[in-house]
Amino acid sequence: MAVKLVGKDIADVDVKDLLKKLTTAFADEWSAYYQYWLGAQIAKGVMRPAIVAELVQHAGEELAHAQMITDRIIQLGGVVKMLPSEWEKFAGCKYNAVKSESSKIILQENIKGEQCAIKFYNSLLNDVYGKDFVTANIISKILEDEVTHEQDLVMLLEDLENCCK
């Protein structure tokens, strides 16, 4: 006898629409992970050790976000997009290809990515708040991290600009 799962039934939202948005979030988190990871590998310039350490930390947190979103997609009965070639189609915050090895430019590109993520997650949180507490808790945690990432990167960029005038 099959047991019916009720975990997805408690979400008072259009689950199909939510799964589309979570798929977007999944694609964005993988893009963010890769952008941070690659930036940490190639960054050059003044303050490189501090910048690389921050990028590595953020990469790990973006990967953790992807895991949280993956878990929620599965809980809601969705299918995770497994091919990286599919992620570009679903991404909302398109991958900001690293254009330079300059730490300053890498920081600027990652700040843009975080700002896009903050807008996306804030909107998604407004969609599910009070309707799907499980997803709202996940998105709230991710949004908190993204705001912290933006602040960390802006402060590093300001330090970099102030030290090297």
Three-class SS of residue 56? helix
Residue 82 lies in a domain: yes
Q: What is the CA angle 153-125-144, rounded to 5? A: 30
Query: How many C-beta neighbours within 10 Å does residue 165 have?
Result: 4
Q: At what angle do helices 48-75 and 15-42 cross, to 10 degrees?
A: 160
Residue 2 lies in a domain: no
- 151 has pLDDT over 80: yes
* Residues in CB range of 95: below 8 A, 6 or more apart: 31, 34, 35, 88
- At 27 the pLDDT is 93
Residue 28 lies in a domain: yes
Residue 44 lies in a domain: yes
pLDDT digit string (tens) for 111-148? 999 999 999 999 999 999 999 999 999 999 999 999 99
Query: How many C-beta neighbours within 10 Å does residue 129 have?
Result: 13
Give how many domains the chain has, as a whole number: 1
Cα dihedral sign for 66, 84, 5, 14?
positive
Of the two residues 5 and 149, the one the predictor is more confident about is 149
- At 97 the pLDDT is 76
* Residues in CB range of 110: below 8 A, 6 or more apart: 35, 36, 39, 55, 58, 96, 149, 153
The pTM assigned to this predicted structure is 0.92
- The Cα–Cα gap between 71 and 58 comes to 20
Q: Which domain holds residue 152?
A: 15-163
pLDDT digit string (tens) for 70-113? 999 999 999 998 777 877 777 888 777 778 999 999 999 999 99
